Structure 1
Amino acid sequence: MKNRNRSAFITGASGAIGKAIARRLANDGFNLYLHYHSNEKIMRTLATELQNCDVEVTVLQGDFSSRADLEKITENVFELDVFIHAAGNSEYGLFTDLSDKKLQCLYDIHVGAPLYFIRAFLPKLRRSSHPRILFISSIWGEVGAAMEVAYSTMKGAQIAFVKALSKEVAGNGITVNALTPGAVDTAMLAQFSEQEKQEFIQEIPLLRLGNPKDVANAAAFLVRDESGYITGQILGVNGGWHM
């Protein structure tokens, strides 16, 4: 199914999951606005690659702790049908050791920036024939994780926001959903040893780590025109790790 003339904005498009979603949506025919923070080389390479899919690609740099950067990004997004928040980072350690700066950074990336963007973009989304909002949240937002307390809290806030906003904008035909990946083989797992990763795998019924394409395929499903009756839902992409 092609989606010519539809536009999607993806935050964190230079990360593993963001890149996978961008590639999948480009193949599906979406014109793309791709946000990145600091990985300019990766972003430029990706943009060049995606232009081979015969879609328009606009690259937008921004620091989510900067209100000026948030405003600059919103001013450069014109027509919009799909908003996907894939940006994210984690802080592993005891909650009592977490600095104010790192706590604020987690809030800005996972809660502050996406709420700012969505509030700004809602008028554009209301003009779309098939408007979609999608968060890439986390299994830890559902069940919580020791040593990642603040991260779990921010991801839980995303889930609460999805459920509430989905009710508020349903009358405009806007769907709002979240994916909650489990253990996905990205840079976030790099802090764990191979033995620790194998221990994760033994707890997952499908007996493997997820990969970014697994998340991208689920994202592509939820932004399709045919998914217009699915809203306020939290879809686990976790190999059966949590049900």
Structure 2
Amino acid sequence: AGGRAEARTADVGDTAAVEALVAAVVAAHGRVDHLVNNAGITRDGLLMRMKEEDWDAVLRVNLKGAFAFSRAVLRTMIAARYGRIVNIASIAGQMGNAGQTNYAASKAAVIALAKSLAREVGSRDITVNAVAPGFIATAMTDALPEEIKAAYLAAIPLKKFGLPKDVSSAVQFLLSEEAAYITGQVVAVNGGLYM
């Protein structure tokens, strides 16, 4: 909406790469006001059969990435005495999900990261929150078997799947001045599937 966007890439699990990216952004723009930790992957499987590298890969991207970016932007946010950080969690991190122990653990951890960091930096007018999406209609969920989608739909009180804009609207709100007195919270965007 009238702003300017710029794309930059880094391996979120590589703290040196993350720090270099943030340093380049600060050099170009002076500071970082908003951070959305949105990187996430899955490597689903039952825990008893899960490969250690699948466990590690999910935690490296989903949790270590949020840690690395949050730590990298804090110096500029603290100096500015302003900042907004939003971690994208998941309903799986709140209620668990069979076959996703690694993913659910990583998403529960980014919720705990948000809550703990909110306590650390709140006095500097930096808010830290999480958004926990439920079943969101995407190309990935469209590929699920119809019986699985029907079972989820039956369990959702609103009787519909969420849209990506439902998640982005929650994030946009948490980044706004209207949310200046909200920190350490988890905004559930799940149609009531988990209350």
**What TM-score do the two structures reach when normalised by structure 1?**
0.74
Where does residue 194 of structure 1 map in the other structure?
Answer: 146
SS across alignment from 2:86:
strand
Question: Counterpart of 1:178?
Answer: 130
Alignment of 1:1-243 (within 5 A): 27=1, 53=2, 55-78=3-26, 79-128=31-80, 130-190=82-142, 192-243=144-195
Aligned-pair identity (%): 34
Distance 1:189 1:239, change over 3 A: same
User: Which blocks of at least 5 consecutive residues in structure 2 are unaligned?
Assistant: none
**Structure 2 counterpart of 1:137, which letter?**
A
Following superposition, the deviation at residue 69 of structure 1 comes to 2.7
CA contact (8 A) 1:90 1:188 kept: no
Matches of 1:149 and 1:188, distance apart in 2: 19
Query: Gaps spanning 5+ residues in structure 1: where?
Result: 1-26, 28-52
Structure 1 residues 67, 158: closer, same or farther in 2, change over 3 A?
A: closer
The aligned counterpart of 1:4 is none
CA distance in 1, matches of 2:175, 2:146: 35
| Structure richer in helix, relative to its length | 2
Shift of 1:74: 2.1
Q: Cα distance 1:226–1:130, how it changes in 2: closer, same or farther (>3 A)?
A: farther
Report the Cα distance in structure 1 between the residues aligned to 2:23 and 2:46, rounded to whole angstroms. Answer: 39
Q: Is the 8 A contact 1:106 1:154 kept in 2?
A: yes
Measured against aligned partners, the alpha-carbon deviations of 1:47-76 in whole angstroms (never above 9, x if no partner) come to xxxxxx4x2222112223434432332222
Amino acid of the structure 2 residue aligned with 1:69: A
Instruction: Provide the aligned length of Structure 1 versus Structure 2.
Output: 191
- Counterpart AA for 2:46: L
Whether the aligned pair in 1 keeps the contact of 2:58 and 2:103 (CA below 8 Å) is yes
Give CA deviations for 1:21-41 in whole Å, capped at 9, x if unaligned: xxxxxx2xxxxxxxxxxxxxx
Contact 1:139 1:182 in 2 (8 A): yes
Q: 2:65 is aligned with what amino acid?
A: A
Equivalent position SS for 2:45: coil
Give the match's secondary structure for 2:8.
strand
* CA-CA distance at 1:191 after TM superposition: 5.1
Residue 192 of structure 1 and its aligned partner are, at CA, apart by: 1.9
TM-score (normalizing by structure 2): 0.91
Please identify runs of 4+ aligned residues in structure 1 that moved more than 6 A: none
Q: CA deviation at 1:129?
A: 5.7
